[in-house]
Structure 1
Amino acid sequence: MTREGLAALAFSAAGRESDKFETNDLGRQVIGREFIFAQSLADEDSSTETNDAYWRYDKSAQQLTLSFRSYVHSLYLKFESKKSGEYTGQNAFGVKVRIKGYTETEAKLTPVGGTDFNTLSVTLNADPVEGRRLSQEVTLLVQGVIDADSDGAVTSCSDDHAGATIDDPIEVYTYSCAVTGRVTHVEFYDRKNSAALAEWNAEPAAAAKP
């Protein structure tokens, strides 16, 4: 299953969770199905919560560092932010301000069974030419299988609202959906040379005792 497929699976929970009579989690039908997706790396100075993998270049040492981090132990699959409108707000003292509203929609992969893969990092010796190439051609590959969380659910959705203030006249509604999966392999992959520059593999599950 691809990144797009995982995002679609996560969003499939939105309609069902609003129906009090609907209890079927479509994700349970695909438990055990493998997924793999790649994402490009961001410049650390411009990385955000939606950029899990980033690069940093030390010009004086001529070293390129590739790092992966997972905010709140989730990997972003899709993120959209759209302006929803503007209106004039007023506080209790009569101070008025123009408020802008935004709607954010996000889909995430929530790992189960450990998240120590998000400490993957490697520092490479690279002159400026090679450093630039690697920053553009290295991708983060993530592999795993769809699995249920401790409550037996595979997909879930939630919403959040951040109200505006006079000092920060931005109002944001966030709609977030997630699919759970067991990550088994992560690597920094050099597409040009077809080589893994650093990788992490999950430990094999312990055999059940007789």
Structure 2
Amino acid sequence: MLLAEDDRAIRHALERALTLEGYEVTAVADGVEAIAQAHRSAPDILVLDVMMPGIDGLQVCRVLRAEGDRTPILMLTALVETPDRIAGLDAGADDYVVKPFDVDEVFARLRALLRRTSGASSDDGRDVSPELDGQVAAADLRMDPQARRAWRGERELELTRTEFDLLELLVRNAGIVLDHATIYDRIWGYDFGPGSKNLA
């Protein structure tokens, strides 16, 4: 795991808590170090503070996603407004935790992201779309959740992690109308509220 947090006290406390939880943690203090470390040894998951000096967490996300890096990213942020959350998700983050946070929530969100990495099934344990060798399909769309690859016909699709998770959710629930709250909960783990329209 790669942890990037410029606040020394938070960084040390979180690094210690994550290590005690069983994670192997590499901790850095800014976005430049985060990108360099991600290039040196690909982590299983990244935890990034949004507001860091030099290159902030959002820029780190954009750089890694532009390079095709689909490692799950959890953002730590003091910004609580909906536009701030949307900006983080649009930058390529998979989820975020608002400061001040409970470390147990960080653990829970990390577990959820790592579960998604290994592929997910519908809540009742069944796959509603046909599978071939672990793949799921709907019409001319085919997905391999384990490899996190998707094709439409013979053309492979380039998807961010969140786009892949959303598409997989829809394919696995083909023919079922999913409301906003369900989609938000399944993909991001929380509800943006009834006024949100970014899935309308």
TM-score range (shorter-chain normalised) is under 0.3
Answer 1 or 2: which has greater helix percent: 2
**What TM-score comes out, normalization by structure 2 length?**
0.21
